[in-house]
Amino acid sequence: MSYTIAMAGKGGTGKSTTATLIIRYITQELGKAVLAVDADPNSSLGISLGVDVKGTIADIRDDVVEKRVDIPASMSKERYIEYCIEDCIVEENKFDLLTMGRPEGPKCYCYANNILRKYLDKAEQSYPFIVIDTEAGMEHLSRRTTNDVDLLIIAFESTIIGVRTAKRITELIE
């Protein structure tokens, strides 16, 4: 089982920077492998880690939903999606990066979140650590994208509004 760490908080509070530093610490100081998950539609974790993203869950979702791909007859849709996810993971020396990608526009982001949640449930068996850089705000908490998190780090500004937001996040997860 993985030890899962996730970030939460408003935009611009340092979630991606904190996730990057944690990933670097785990890989360099502890010598352990990490699945880094960029669940922020702005997708900045790859840049912070110095890697190029080659594909996203949003790309897979678009291809499957809009039927731009022919799913092999020997594969279920779920297995095909899992295969595509494995293909779009960026593999580095001590960490792998999975990127959620852009939002669906005016439609719901639920399908991409469900794909991510199912994949993370399986990935727990393969990585000692999973670090999730979530999107800004609290919606991912209410959607339960970050299920089974062992440590939730709440990033916030040292302002009254920032403290209130951190308090709301704490109340939401309790």
CATH number for region 3-173: 3.40.50.300
Q: Where are the domains of the chain?
A: 3-173
Residue 93 tokens read as 């020396």
Q: Does 50 score more than 70 pLDDT?
A: yes
Q: Answer whether 0.75 is exceeded by the pTM.
A: yes
For CA atoms 42, 94, 123, 7, the dihedral sign is negative
Residue in the structure block whose two tokens are 């340092």: 14
**In this predicted model, what pLDDT tens digit does every residue of 106-163 receive, in sequence order?**
555 677 788 888 889 889 999 999 999 987 755 555 555 556 789 999 888 888 988 8
**In this predicted model, what pLDDT tens digit does every residue of 61-104 receive, in sequence order?**
888 877 778 888 898 888 998 999 999 999 999 999 999 987 65
CA distances from 112 to 37, 64, 163 (A): 13, 11, 30
